[in-house]
Structure 1
């Protein structure tokens, strides 16, 4: 199913999501990001949101603007954030602060060499971290992006993409289960 067909399946009560998808998935609605970055972030966000039809539709659009290595970087960001967001959210939220002093002992080599552009990887990572609600990871990726000269508006654009893609994934998945 295409992205256009999926957007059409969003029910009337989620009309804002349909409008927001149109907005954030183009350069005028995502200031500071290129079309390639927009779709890489959307792909990582869709993977992180776990709704296969939306992930597939966004993957097809992403393949039109990004090469295999760049797509691999977006997938790697979703994969590694799926692990690190949970771990670091635990160390941040648990009352016992000793956990934060222990080495994570989790392989995270992909963060040093994500395959695609490092900035694109960080943009994907911050969007997925927002979806997963990890404040420590959000702070870390935001700092890296700011150190590379990205503006707050550019970073906000990435997080907005993650928010809209995630909300669309939730509604598309659940709408098929609703009978009222």
Structure 2
């Protein structure tokens, strides 16, 4: 599915989402690998087959195989970490925070792509998944590496746009099915 077809599937009730998606796709404020890896990692995090397919096609034209793999790895490892660390953060019993996580996450130390890109992708996925502990951890690493606040904000803004696109498309499909 081409990205244009995805845009066409966003219903009129989500016109702002469609306009934001269009604006995001033409935004070149991030370098190509950072931008397209971010698009793909966020698309995977939405869990929407249509969004994943469209952004994977788009990313495949712009990214190396290692970058595609890195973006998918960021989404995958954050899916695990965001559940675990959100639980640790939200649980009233703080004993869990002192326990070893016992989760393999070697990809974070050796992602096969630029570490700053991987951190930015991980931050954006963590924003989609709603894990405050992971957001804080990744934002701290990015700030420590000198990444500008506007770059971090752009990554999270793009995550919000991609997530809202998935919601609009999936909601429209549900509306069509239930009205038939």
TM category, shorter: over 0.9
- Provide the residue aligned with 1:149 in structure 2: 146
Q: So what's the TM-score if we normalise by structure 2?
A: 0.95
Give runs of aligned pairs for residues 24-173 of structure 1, distance below 5 A. 24-28=24-28, 31=29, 33-173=30-170
Contact 2:33 2:67 in 1 (8 A): no
| TM-score normalised by structure 1 residue count | 0.95
1:130-164 Cα offsets, whole Å, 9 max, x none, are 00000000000001111111111000011111111
Of residues 157, 171, 174 in structure 2, which corresponds to 1:177?
A: 174
User: In structure 1, how many angstroms separate the alpha carbons of the residues matched to 2:23 and 2:118?
Assistant: 22
Structure 1, unaligned stretches of length 5 or more? none
The Cα of 1:34 is off from its aligned counterpart by: 1.2
Q: How far does residue 36 in structure 1 lie from its aligned partner after superposition? A: 2.5
In the alignment of these two chains, the number of paired residues is 177
- What value does the CA root-mean-square deviation take over the aligned residues? 1.1
Gaps of 5+ in 2: none
* Deviation for aligned residue 1:63: 1.3
